[in-house]
Amino acid sequence: MTRFLLTRLFHGLTVLWVVVTLTFVLMRVTPGGPFDRERRLPPEVLANIAAKYHLDEPWLKQYARYLNGIFRGDLGPSYKYLDRGVSDIVAETFPVSALLGIFALVFALAFSFPVGICAAYYHSSWTDRWCLLIATLGISLPHFILGALLIWLFSIQLGWLQAGRWEGFTSVVLPTVTLGAAPAAYLSYLLRSTLLETLAEDFIRTARAKGLRESAVLLKHALNNSLIPTLTVLGPLFAALITGSFVVEYIFAIPGMGRFFITAVTDRDYPLIMGVTLVYTVILVCANLLVDLFYSLVDPRIKSY
Partner 1 sequence: MIKPLRKGSIVALSFLSLFFVSSCNPFSPGGNPKAFRVNLGTEPPSLDWSLATDHVSFNVIANLMVGLTEFDKSLRPAPVIAKSWDILEGGKRIVFHLRDDVTWSDGKKVRAQDFEYSWKRLLNPKTASEYAYILFDILNAKEYHEGKIGDEALLGVQAKDDSTLEVKLKHPASYFVSITTFEVTYPQRQDIVEKFGTKWTEPGNIVTNGPFLLASWQHENEIQLSANPNFFLGKPAVEKVQMFMINEKTTALAMYEQGQLDFIDNHSIPILEKQRLSKLPGFQRVPQLRGYYYGFVIDRKPFDDVRVRKAFSMAIDRSVFPKVLHGGEQPASCWIPPGMLAHDSRIGLTHNPPEARRLLREAGYPDGKGFPPVTLGYNTDEDHKIVAEAAQGMWKRNLGVLVRLENQEWKVYLKKLQTEPPHVFRLGWGADYPDPDNFMKLFTALSGNNNTHWKNPRYDQLLELAAKEFNGKKRVKIYDEAQKILCETDLPIIPLFTTAESTVLNPRFAGLEYSPMGRLMLRHVRPSRTEDGR
- Identified binder of partner 1 from the candidate list 76, 101, 183, 256, rule CB under 8 A: 256
- With respect to partner 1, which residue has the nearer C-beta, 240 or 247? 247
Q: Which of 1, 29, 60, 156 binds partner 1 (CB under 8 A)?
A: 156
- Least separation in angstroms between residue 170's CB and partner 1 is 9
Between 15 and 80, CB nearer to partner 1? 80
Residue 23 interacts with partner 1 (CB under 8 A)?
Answer: no
Looking at 164, 229, 233, 299, which residue binds partner 1 (CB under 8 A)?
164
Could you say which of 1, 3, 29, 31 contacts partner 1 (CB under 8 A)? 31
What string of H, E and C letters represents the secondary structure of the chain?
Answer: CHHHHHHHHHHHHHHHHHHHHHHHHHHHHCCCCCCCCCCCCCHHHHHHHHHHCCCCCCHHHHHHHHHHHHHCCCCCECCCCCCCEHHHHHHHHHHHHHHHHHHHHHHHHHHHHHHHHHHHHCCCCHHHHHHHHHHHHHHHCCHHHHHHHHHHHHHHHCCCCCCCCCCCHHHHHHHHHHHHHHHHHHHHHHHHHHHHHHHCCHHHHHHHHCCCCHHHHHHHHHHHCCHHHHHHHHHHHHHHHHCCCHHHHHHCCCCCCCCHHHHHHHCCCHHHHHHHHHHHHHHHHHHHHHHHHHHHHHCCCCCCC
Task: Return the number of the residue (56 or 292) whose C-beta is nearest partner 1.
Answer: 56
Distance CA 135, CA 265 (A): 33
Instruction: Pick out residues in 106-145 that bind partner 1 (CB under 8 A).
Output: 106-107, 109-111, 113-115, 117-118, 121-122, 127
Q: Are 185 and 254 in contact (CB under 8 A)?
A: no
Which residue among 15, 70, 99, 293 contacts partner 1 (CB under 8 A)?
99
Please say which residue, 126 or 303, places its beta carbon nearer to partner 1: 126
Minimum Å gap between C-beta 37 and partner 1 is 7
- Closest to partner 1 by CB, 11 vs 65, is 65
231 binding partner 1? (CB under 8 A): no
**Number of residues binding to partner 1, judged by CB under 8 A:** 77
CB of 121 to partner 1, least distance (A): 6
Smallest gap, in angstroms, from Cβ of residue 302 to partner 1? 28
Q: Tell me: does residue 168 bind partner 1 (CB under 8 A).
A: yes
220 near partner 1, judged by CB under 8 A: no
